Amino acid sequence: MNDNFTELGAITWLWANSNLHKNWTLSLLTTNVIPAIQTKQYVLLRRDNMPVAYCSWAKLSLENEVKYINDVTSLKLEDWQSGNRNWFIDWITPFGDSLRLTKHMRELFADELFRAIRVEENSSHGKITEFHGKSVDPKLASKMFAQYHEDLMSKLSTQNNFIISKDN
């Protein structure tokens, strides 16, 4: 348990040093970080014994993926391991270690696909980005992401509060 508190402190310190995360609520930190620690679905990179990068992920069912896309604060502990649709929940690199974290994650999940909701600083809108492990053929990844997208759009189209529009 002490290790969990140490990890939580290190992750919180990274949040506080991230221009994007430092103004987010404590409630969002606990919603995003505590389940990651409890399920051991996170990576914390250090340099000279100091935390420099953090990434957490959830393995969502299609239903929980839809819930997450509609409300990024909606995930409960049981949702984090509910399926095989991989999502990076947090990606925090306030000291310029994003490339190092990218390389680490591509190695760690060499045969897997991930998506993330990326939010730019000073924006309230996010976009879905895609990642694949180092061993995944990019053409295969593209086909698999297309299928994920089709499944997601099909599920979202059944939602009363969600409108899908296509750019012409």
**Which active-site residues does the annotation give?**
21, 90
pLDDT digits (tens, 9 = 90+) for 38-49: 999 999 999 999
Q: What does the alpha-carbon distance between residue 33 and residue 7 come to, in Å, rounded to a whole number?
A: 10
Opening angle at CA 11, ends 6 and 16, nearest 5 = 125
- Higher-pLDDT residue of 78 and 127 is 78
pTM, full prediction:
0.88
* Mean pLDDT, residues 25-47 taken together: 95
Q: Are 62 and 155 in contact (CB under 8 A)?
A: yes
For residue 18, is pLDDT > 70?
Answer: yes
β-bridge partners, 85: 60
β-bridge partners, 86: 59
Residue 54's pLDDT is what?
98
* Mean pLDDT, residues 102-116 taken together: 97
Residue 158's pLDDT is what?
81
Reported as type and span, the H/E element at residue 70 is helix 62-70
Give the burial class of 103: count Cβ atoms within 10 A of its Cβ; 0-12 exposed, 13-18 middle, 19 or more buried. exposed
Residue 123's pLDDT is what?
67
For residue 148, is pLDDT > 50?
Answer: yes
Residue 166's pLDDT is what?
46
Q: Are 44 and 51 in contact (CB under 8 A)?
A: yes
Q: Are 33 and 51 in contact (CB under 8 A)?
A: no
For residue 128, is pLDDT > 60?
Answer: yes
Domain boundaries, the chain: 3-158
